[in-house]
Amino acid sequence: MTRSHFTLLVAATGLAFAVPLAAQQPKLRFEVTPSIGGGLMLSDLPSSYRLTADGSTLVALDGGVIDDALALGLTGGVRMGDRFGVQADLRYLPTTVNAHSAGNPTVTDANIFLVSGNLSLFLPVGIRPIEPFLTVGAGAKIYDPDYEGADTQSDFAVNFGGGANLHLTPVVALRIDVRNYLSSLDPEISGLDSEIQNDLLLSTGLTFTLPTMGARNRGR
């Protein structure tokens, strides 16, 4: 065998392995989704709850109920092939808390932020425009009371849910998303245990697929 034949054999062998391996590499696509929806605050505050400022009590709230709220969201992520995705997710819910303080009714505005990282699994259903998915993630639930001097409180939160993408064009899809968020809220009062908070978020938005560097180069 001559050197040129050997070189061709090595090249052909390399291609025989490289082509299947390249085909197995997931195609990466970057996506961004602004969304709007509603948050159903399914759990009340602990029976007694303190708003604090630098550890000192500002006001104690009894029988607090968090109102359902508008939910504004922004999600950015990477799709890896047709089945998997990784997303960073931010939701903002401006709401109010109805409670009693020293026996008197009180209403306190509050901003709630839900921040999470999620893994999503996209399911094949054989109906081309519709793409259902399941998602699970973890992050934080942040309470920002609109009460002068009140501390912001952050709690660990997990979420799970699903939804579907309805593809309108190759780069735009209508996204419907339902998620359940679970977190543990510390009442900030000695002798009282933390309580699980359960929030259900329903949202819809438009998912935009951004051009990748490879796609831009191929278009030149």
pLDDT of residue 57: 84
Q: φ and ψ at 191, to 5 degrees?
A: 95, -10
- DSSP run (H or E) holding 85: strand 84-101
What's residue 55's pLDDT?
A: 75
Alpha helices in 25-127 (DSSP H): none
Three-state SS at 211: coil
Structure pTM?
A: 0.81
Query: Would you state the pLDDT for residue 50?
Result: 87
pLDDT of residue 26: 63
Q: Residue 176 — pLDDT band, cuts 50, 70, 90?
A: very high
How long a stretch of residues is the chain?
A: 220
- The CA distance from 167 to 121, in Å, is 17
* Whether the Cβ atoms of residue 25 and residue 59 lie closer than 8 Å to each other: no
Decide which of 192 and 53 is more confident: 53
Domains of the chain by start residue, with CATH: 28-218 (2.40.160.20)
How far from 63 is each of 57, 124, 150, CA to CA, in Å? 17, 46, 19
Q: What is the pLDDT of residues 93-121, one digit of tens each?
A: 999 999 998 889 999 999 999 999 999 99
Q: Is the dihedral of CA 65, 67, 68, 71 positive or negative?
A: negative
**Out of 32-41, 51-60, 147-156, 209-218, least confident range:** 209-218
Q: What is the pLDDT of residue 99?
A: 93
The owner of tokens 């992520």 is 77
Do 95 and 110 form a contact (C-beta atoms < 8 A)?
Answer: yes
Which pLDDT score is estimated for 18? 37
Predicted local confidence at residue 89, as pLDDT: 97
| Per-residue pLDDT tens over the stretch 123-169 | 988 777 999 999 999 999 999 998 888 899 999 999 999 999 999 99
Token couple for 10: 């090595």
Burial of 15 (0-12, 13-18, 19+ CB in 10 A): exposed
State which amino acid sits at residue 137: G
Q: Which of 201, 117, 213 is nearest to 163 (CA)?
A: 201
The answer to whether residue 206 scores a pLDDT higher than 80 is: yes
Mean pLDDT of the chain: 85
Q: How confident is the model at residue 22 (pLDDT cuts 50, 70, 90)?
A: very low
Q: What is the pLDDT of residue 21?
A: 37
Each residue of 54-90: pLDDT tens digit? 878 888 899 999 999 999 999 999 999 889 999 999 9
pLDDT for the residue numbered 20: 43
- With a cut of 60, say whether residue 9 has pLDDT above it: no
